[in-house]
Amino acid sequence: MSKRKAKVSRAFLKEDPLKKTETGEEVIGGFTDHPLVFVTPIPSIADLTGANDTLREKVIAALNGDKEAIEKRDAAEKVWDEKFSKSASYVDGVADGDTLIIEQSGFKSTKTETTKKVKPGQPVIKTAKGDYTTKGKVDIECLTLAGADFYIAVASQQLINMNIKNSQALFAPQAEMGISISTTRKISIEGLQSKQEYQVTVMCFNTAGLGPQSQVATVVVP
């Protein structure tokens, strides 16, 4: 009996509208980060970004319960569903059953009984910078990483490393630090000391375990 090929899971179509915009960000980021894999995304990245931004805007506008705003949100969600469904079909064609390529796109793949979960690889920090609109906050963005269910970001004034040894991360004694966990590749750490330099690093994990530490980035907190 031949194995069933992995495909893009369409479970994202059942998510609530706000969660869909988070999925949209992941897919847009996946296409942007891997232009040699996804050469001509269908629809285009610009079209997807427009649909995603519009849906987020309409979701926020509908929070007050206004009937007309809710109708506009529902209309925007319908457009979003159509565009990202086409993207899912496009990724299926590019991946041809390759789970790694599917997850590079930012979509989730269907799982088969023969699929064995493996630990995520090493994340790559794309940007790490202070958020000048919020005191003591750092924003971190990683490249899309296949198999990563969670991203753990650590900022420390005297970070040594995050390699796990006896289930404990290793840091300099008495180091001032902050930790944040996110389900997306964009992570924010708040409550840091302003005008101080921090070392930032990221690790990813899933049900198979914790992957290796990223490179260390240096950030001055605003």
Q: Over 70: is that where the pLDDT of 183 sits?
A: yes
Name the DSSP letter for residue 138. E
Q: pLDDT band at 77, cuts 50/70/90?
A: very high
Both tokens of 195, joined, read: 């005008």
pLDDT surpasses 80 at 103: yes
Report the distance separating Cα 41 and Cα 209, nearest Å: 32
Percent of the chain with pLDDT strictly greater than 70? 88
- pLDDT of 118 > 90? The answer is no
Predicted confidence (pLDDT) per residue in 152-172, tens digit: 999 988 765 555 443 344 444
Spans of all domains in the chain: 10-104, 125-220
pLDDT at 94 over 60: yes
Residue 132 DSSP class: T
Would the pTM count as exceeding 0.85?
no
| Model confidence band, residue 112 (pLDDT cutoffs 50, 70, 90) | very low
User: Please, which pLDDT band fits residue 3 given cuts at 50, 70 and 90?
Assistant: low
Q: Is the pLDDT of residue 218 over 50?
A: yes
Instruction: Please give the CATH topology (third level) of the domain spanning 125-220.
Output: Immunoglobulin-like (2.60.40)
pLDDT in tens, 13-70: 999 999 999 999 999 999 999 999 999 999 999 999 999 999 999 999 998 888 999 9
Q: How confident is the model at residue 78, as a pLDDT?
A: 97
> In this predicted structure, which of 53-62, 109-118, 121-130 has the lowest mean pLDDT?
109-118
Whether the predicted pLDDT of 115 surpasses 90 = no
Least confident of 45-49, 131-135, 166-170, 198-202: 166-170
Strand 150-156 relative to strand 138-142: parallel, antiparallel, unpaired?
unpaired
**CB count, 10 Å around CB of 84?**
25
